[in-house]
Amino acid sequence: MKSLNIYIVEDEPIIVSTIEVALRKQGFYAIGDAEDYYTALSDIQRLKPDLVLIDIQLSGNKDGVDLATELDKKKQPYLFLSSQTDPNTIERVKQTNPLGYIVKPFTETGLRTNIELAWHNYNDSQQHFLTVKHEGRLHRINQDTISYLKAYDNYCYIVTKTQTYLVPHTLKHISEQLEGSDFVRAHRSYVVNLKHILSVDKNTISLKTDSIPVSASQKGLVVSKLKSI
């Protein structure tokens, strides 16, 4: 798995240091920490970590469950890392959507295992698939593998890293089936996956395996969205 950028929300400095050391030993990056709700919320919005580790007991009048409730609204993945297992706390936790709950004290191996399993399950839940008919067969295509769509009269090419599909639908119809915000129209005949873009010049978008045109009217939108991911 990739080396995750992890933010720590914990009000005990010694425990923060212990978590940071454990994360680094296991190949993760500790990109920041906070001991209270407000600092954590501000930092998380600014740093955009892959994952947040949250202790329930924090400094101030808001705790880790309050923070989790806000992160749910922002669709920010997080794990609880806490010693609190009393019934009242667990009932409040049930109203949130963590990727998991790690009970203190923890081991380095246990921390890594919980993070890896939680991230694997999270990635699976975030994947979207497009089902299309090509050459008489139904194909289920993972959206993340799509580099771009290309219009061809009333048909549409779906181009992935390994295969190109010609489907009996318009570019508009296929693009409307895509979920998420990773795809943007680059030209009247092209829709591109932002995650596959390597560079944008005057009138061309370079992808990992190909190049496609970008129109003057759409270039600003493509560049703007590219900067936001």
The yes-or-no verdict on residue 16 having pLDDT over 70 is: yes
Helices 64-73 and 37-47 sit at what angle, rounded to 10 degrees?
A: 30
Instruction: Give 187-224 pLDDT, tens digit per residue.
Output: 999 999 999 999 999 999 999 889 999 999 999 999 99
Burial of 171 (0-12, 13-18, 19+ CB in 10 A): buried
Residues 50, 115, single domain; the answer is: yes
Amino acid letter, residue 82: S
Residues 139, 174, single domain; the answer is: yes
Q: So what's the pLDDT on residue 1?
A: 61
Q: CATH no. for residue 171?
A: 2.40.50.1020
Instruction: Give 56-107 pLDDT, tens digit per residue.
Output: 999 999 999 999 999 999 999 999 999 887 888 889 999 999 999 999 999 9
Q: So what's the pLDDT on residue 32?
A: 97
What three-state secondary structure class fits 32? strand
Q: Which of 126, 153, 179 is the last residue of a domain?
A: 126
Residues 148, 189, single domain; the answer is: yes
The yes-or-no verdict on residue 52 having pLDDT over 70 is: yes
Residues 133, 97, single domain; the answer is: no
Q: Which of 92, 111, 126 is the last residue of a domain?
A: 126
Residues 15, 119, single domain; the answer is: yes
